[in-house]
Amino acid sequence: MRVVFLAPIYPPEMLQYTRGLAEVGAEVYGVGDTPREALPEVVRPYLHDYLQVPRILAEDDVMDRVTAWLRGKSVDRVLSNWEPTVILAARLRERWGMPGMSVDAVRGFRDKQLMKERVRAAGLRVPRSRRVKTEAEMRAAAEEIGYPLVLKPIAGAGSADTYRVDDAKQLDETIPKMRGVTEASCEEYVRGEEFTFDTVSIQGKPAFENVAAYLPKPLEARSEEWISPVIITVRDLAQPKLQGGLELGRKVLSALGMGDGFTHMEWFLTPKGEAVFGEIGCRPGGAHLVDQMNYTCDIDLFREWARVACFGKFEAPTTRKYNAGIVFKRALGKGRITRITGLGDWLRACDPWVVEEKLLRPGTPRRNWRHTLLSDGHVLVRHPDWDEAYRMSFLAATGIKMYAE
């Protein structure tokens, strides 16, 4: 089984998917723009070969270079788990006539307006939205949709360049921030709780399902620096509260023509109990969400994704044992981390349920919280009881403090 895997070391979690592919028996041909000599030692045993390209996002150039590099070799799969390269993977599959999701199907998971149109056409509830490219179009869409609304890139990931707009004055303030975005979606703001629906699917049918709660919603977490974002995977998927979202997610996969692999969907539960579609990608969630799912079930989804992608089989148990909560911390101040308070007390109070503590250490430059959910590191706990997982997560969110100067 020869597999071309795009961007095998970036973002950093891609190293785990590269490992997973090798461990299920694939010969992994990595393609990226990192110099060969800069490849981490840990990933080298899992790569059968590697092609450095000038720019991994220059699709036509990459396609020509990879085609020339592999001329004379048979290839079985072309895969990517990084959002900006999923269409490139589909284009290579179509050029080489191999199995996998088509460019048209993948575009439905990448283009936020197109995905909403296709999901809406299947009779599912989605936010009212319009595709906009100019200031005039933004203003016209806002007039039609009404406030509050959300402006976000058509092909973005996470909450980057995403803004809630509550009135015409805020629209005036937000439009200049969108000038680096060539195409955007202007959509209805949905009030309520926000959850994920994550799957590893085989021919569009989930072999593994997950729901995680965003606390608070990502758009709110990106708006205030003092917030420590919390995400908790839900152990009990059978509870009535989640059934509408699970049903919605499965129907979305069908409406968009999902094939094999990871999906990461976000959905809203309104105060009236209605499940409303947010958006979806045909790739795994970032920000350690796959690690959380692994801790939830004591499995290795990096390897199971690889088994699904290569052989159409999912072999790990899917029993959910824990609610797993991750807390991303943001230092107060600017510059380098100087001190951390409350960590020791929290570790002692939450032992033995702490599974990761990866906060940046004093002397490390703090990260730009607007650019990455990872912020200045994280802690991760798990517990069979939801209330306990919630309590420990928010004890870290409020009790641990990081300072920078």
Q: What is the CATH number of the domain that holds 88?
A: 3.40.50.20
**Buried/exposed code over 346-372 (b: 16+ C-beta within 10 A; e: otherwise):** beeebeebbbbbebbeeeeebbebeee
Q: Please state whether beta strands 205-210 and 377-383 pair in parallel, antiparallel, or not at all (unpaired).
A: unpaired
**Residue 207 counted as domain residue:** yes
Same domain, 309 and 328: no
DSSP secondary structure of 317-342:
------EEEEEE---BSSSBEEEEES
Task: Domain of residue 287: give its range.
Answer: 191-318
Q: Which pLDDT belongs to residue 180?
A: 82
Cα separation, 186 vs 189, in Å, equals 9
Same domain, 172 and 233: no
Same domain, 203 and 294: yes
What total number of domains does the chain contain? 4
CA dihedral sign of residues 93, 99, 104, 108: negative
Same domain, 204 and 310: yes
Cα separation, 259 vs 13, in Å, equals 22
Same domain, 206 and 297: yes
Same domain, 377 and 401: yes
Q: Which pLDDT belongs to residue 222?
A: 84
**Residue 105 counted as domain residue:** no
**Residue 334 counted as domain residue:** yes
Cα separation, 5 vs 16, in Å, equals 12
Q: What are the pLDDT digits (tens) for 381-403?
A: 999 999 999 999 999 999 999 99
**Residue 110 counted as domain residue:** no
Tokens found for residue 144? 């039609």
Same domain, 229 and 346: no
Q: List, for the chain, all residue ranges whose pLDDT scores fall below the cut of 70.
A: 156-160
Domain end call among 85, 100, 115: 100
Q: Three-state SS for 214?
A: strand
Cα separation, 140 vs 135, in Å, equals 9
Q: Three-state SS for 176?
A: helix
Domain end call among 318, 346, 372: 318
Same domain, 156 and 221: no
Task: Provide the residue type at 2 as one letter.
Answer: R
Cα separation, 233 vs 231, in Å, equals 7
Q: Which pLDDT belongs to residue 154?
A: 84
Q: What are the pLDDT digits (tens) for 192-227?
A: 999 999 999 999 999 999 999 999 999 899 889 999
Domain end call among 188, 210, 229: 188
**Residue 10 counted as domain residue:** yes
Same domain, 202 and 182: no
Using an 8 Å Cβ cutoff, are 323 and 389 in contact? yes
- Nearest CA to 109 out of 122, 118, 97 is that of 118
Same domain, 9 and 57: yes
176: CATH: 3.30.1490.20
- In sequence order, what are the residues at sequence separation of 6 or more whose Cβ sits closer than 8 angstroms to the Cβ of residue 339? 362, 402, 403
Same domain, 288 and 389: no
The 3-class SS string of 49-77 reads: EEEECCCCCCHHHHHHHHHHHCCCCCCCE
Q: 């004379």: which residue's tokens?
A: 72
**Residue 121 counted as domain residue:** no
Q: Which pLDDT belongs to residue 158?
A: 58
- In sequence order, what are the residues at sequence separation of 6 or more whose Cβ sits closer than 8 angstroms to the Cβ of residue 280? 109, 115, 252, 256, 263, 264, 265, 266
234: CATH: 3.30.470.20
Q: 């911390």: which residue's tokens?
A: 329
Same domain, 328 and 313: no
Cα separation, 85 vs 59, in Å, equals 8
**Residue 16 counted as domain residue:** yes
Q: Three-state SS for 206?
A: strand
Prediction pTM value: 0.93
Q: Please state whether beta strands 149-153 and 205-210 pair in parallel, antiparallel, or not at all (unpaired).
A: unpaired
**Residue 235 counted as domain residue:** yes
Using an 8 Å Cβ cutoff, are 17 and 41 in contact? no
Cα separation, 191 vs 198, in Å, equals 21
- Nearest CA to 15 out of 40, 38, 36 is that of 40
